[in-house]
């Protein structure tokens, strides 16, 4: 039977007594909290279980999964099959939902993402981020996939008040651009997981160039966070079956709005003058 068709919870139960003592701790947590587990990073599951990240990796491989992400996907598939039509998991839509129910679920998920982000915002971190951006000679805005959309929005928003913000989309161009950064430059990177190869490669190069790094992510203890000078956390739990979800984007947009607004507040006259010049120049574009 293909591994993808096996219920991961049943598989954990079957293999339980073959696990090491440390692996059983990870298994115990997943068995008690299957739905919560699909939203945790490997570092968070390790911390919740009281084991090392290497133990979680071995636990996943022992169950037959190539890595932690494949294991999380299996949990998501398992809980999706078990969920009844009356339950709401981060805006998950059911066939039995009416259009009105669907709207309410999505609204609740979007608002929950905003509320969680609001609770995660640290004013001192926002002020530090603004100071870093204000003092930079150049700011490169990057991401991959849906997070690159956020990076482009950041570059677009900040470009209305400053000419030093630039989006870089292609992963090869990101490496080239970071290799030419200096200690007076900043890399503003958006990554929900904080754990992609392209992210880590770009951040490693930026670190070698001594550029400042600001990471916007869901996971404060992600691998990418280890390279960053400053980590800004956004809310919204996004499961493996909810790739590039709208609540996750809204959480990042809200955080970006806070960051931009504080940036403008620190030099309001100059920013207002810049936005007026931009508005006047763009007026010719309108009929």
One domain for residues 183 and 257: yes
Q: What is the pLDDT of residue 36?
A: 84
**Per-residue pLDDT tens for 155-212?**
999 999 999 999 999 999 999 999 999 999 999 999 988 888 999 999 999 999 999 9
Domain that residue 26 falls in: 3-82
Helix 123-135 × helix 246-265 angle, to 10° = 70
* CATH code for the domain of 207: 3.40.50.10490
In whole numbers, what is the pLDDT of the chain averaged over residues? Answer: 88
One domain for residues 269 and 145: yes
The rounded distance, in Å, linking the Cα atoms of 45 and 149 is 29
Local structure of 145: helix, strand or coil? coil
One domain for residues 130 and 270: yes
0.85 cut: is pTM over it? no
One domain for residues 74 and 130: no
**Per-residue pLDDT tens for 102-126?**
998 888 888 988 998 998 899 999 9
Q: What is the pLDDT of residue 95?
A: 84
DSSP 165-199: EEE--SHHHHHHHHHT--TT-EEEEE-SSS--HHH
Neighbouring C-alpha atoms within 13 Å toward the C-beta of 50: 6
The model's confidence at residue 278, banded by pLDDT at 50, 70 and 90, is very high
Which helix (H) or strand (E) segment holds residue 251: the answer is helix 246-265
């Amino acid at each position: 039977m293909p591994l993808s068709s096996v219920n991961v919870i049943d598989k954990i139960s079957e293999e339980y007594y073959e696990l090491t003592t440390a692996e059983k701790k990870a298994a115990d947590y997943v068995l008690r909290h299957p739905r919560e587990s699909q939203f945790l990073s490997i570092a968070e599951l390790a911390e919740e279980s009281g084991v090392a990240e290497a133990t979680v990796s071995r636990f996943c491989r022992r169950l037959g999964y190539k890595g932690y992400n494949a294991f999380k996907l299996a949990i998501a598939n398992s809980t999706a099959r078990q969920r009844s039509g009356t339950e709401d998991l981060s805006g998950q839509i059911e066939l039995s939902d009416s259009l009105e129910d669907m709207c309410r679920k999505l609204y609740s998920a979007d608002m929950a993402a905003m509320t969680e982000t609001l609770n995660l915002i640290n004013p001192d971190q926002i002020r530090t981020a603004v100071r870093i951006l204000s003092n930079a000679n150049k700011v490169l805005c990057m991401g991959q996939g849906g997070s690159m959309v956020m990076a482009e929005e950041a570059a677009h928003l900040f470009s209305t008040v400053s000419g030093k913000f630039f989006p870089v989309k292609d992963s090869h161009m990101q490496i080239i651009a970071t290799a030419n950064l200096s200690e007076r430059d900043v890399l503003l990177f958006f990554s929900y997981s904080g754990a992609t190869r392209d992210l880590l490669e770009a951040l490693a190069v930026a670190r070698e160039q001594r550029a400042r790094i600001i990471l916007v992510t869901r996971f404060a203890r992600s691998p990418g966070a280890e390279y960053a000078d400053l980590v800004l956390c956004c809310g919204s739990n996004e499961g493996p079956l909810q790739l590039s979800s709208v609540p996750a984007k809204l959480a990042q947009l809200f955080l970006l709005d806070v960051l931009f607004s504080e940036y403008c507040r620190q030099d309001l006259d100059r920013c207002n003058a810049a936005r007026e010049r931009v508005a006047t120049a763009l007026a010719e574009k309108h009929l």
